[in-house]
Amino acid sequence: MSFYIGREASKLWKRFCAEVTTEINLLAENWKYIFGGIVFQYIHGLAARGVHYLHRPGPVLQDVGFILLPELGQDRAYISESVFTCIFLSFVLWTFHPFILKSKKIYTVLIWCRVLAFLVACQILRILTFYSTQLPGPNYHCREGSKLATLPPPNSALEVLLINFPRGILYGCGDLIFSSHMIFSLVFVRTYHKYGTRNFVKAFAWLTVVIQSLLIVASRKHYTVDVVVAWYTVNLVVFFLDKKLPELPDRSNAALFLPLTKDSKNKEENHKLLNGNSGDDWRPRTQINGKIMEDGNVLHVEVVNSA
């Protein structure tokens, strides 16, 4: 039993090391896209912080979602954030599953290049939209009488650049149309829908996003229009941008990303590890009349020559 556990642990470690080597090579080629996408996340947070200085509280606008959905209240407003956190963490863990699991269809670096491209495109549209018109925030801390509804003029540029993370993000006002939570959730779910392998998880993910949409409105964090606009905007952006981006390479060509080595056996073993095989199956194979025998034994073939 201990021998089996040790052998499996050795296979897992070899597969992990082979995957790390491949992903490092891909990161060296694509680090500019990853770095640019991460930097824009800060720019997006900075824009959301800036619009808070422009926000002016007022009466909550009439909203059909507020009429149809009961208000959760401040004590239960965390429910929608909890659902979003589950979606976010689940997707992040899935993108790193090739480092451990055998069944893998994606490269982590390349999938995040694609995801960040979708996020940046949607966030640019979002920034243009919420700076065009500032609606009175429906969230509890954005309503009239709340000290957090308006921000005093900054004392220095550093105060703006630091964006008071994470409090400045959680208690922001004015960045309404369209929902940032829906941008992330829809991009993640659409990405898994295309590259994921389990249909049950795909259906459950879409159902979770629908539930999250209702919870966002019920918790009064956004107007219904913020959620509706996110649904068709994000889906359209991902649909058209996905056609312009280069498709992810097939993992059957994993050897193309491996470092050059003089040992062809090691290279082939790494290739097997990257594609879900243990690399320990080196049984001899003999080909007879176009058929490959797995056990290495030559079958007796009786040839009858016709006159």
Q: Which residues contact 242 (CB under 8 A, 6 or more apart)?
A: 114, 118, 194
* Nearest C-alpha neighbor of 88 from the set 162, 192, 220: 192
| 226 in catalytic set | yes
- The span from the CA of 135 to the CA of 174, in Å, is 6
Enter the DSSP assignment of 221. Answer: S
What long-range pairs does 121-126 form, CB within 8 A, spacing at least 24?
Answer: 121/237, 121/241, 122/183, 122/187, 122/233, 122/234, 122/237, 122/238, 123/40, 123/44, 123/180, 123/183, 125/233, 125/237, 126/44, 126/175, 126/177, 126/178, 126/180, 126/183
The widest CA-to-CA distance across the chain, in whole angstroms, is 105
Annotated catalytic residue: which of 52, 175, 226, 271? 226
Catalytic residue among 44, 55, 222, 271: 222
181 is catalytic: yes
Q: Do the beta carbons of residue 226 and residue 178 sit within 8 Å?
A: yes
Which residues are bridge partners to 288 per DSSP?
Answer: 291
The one catalytic residue among 52, 55, 181, 271: 181
Asked whether the beta carbons of 51 and 134 are under 8 A apart, the reply is yes
The catalytic residue positions are 181, 222, 226
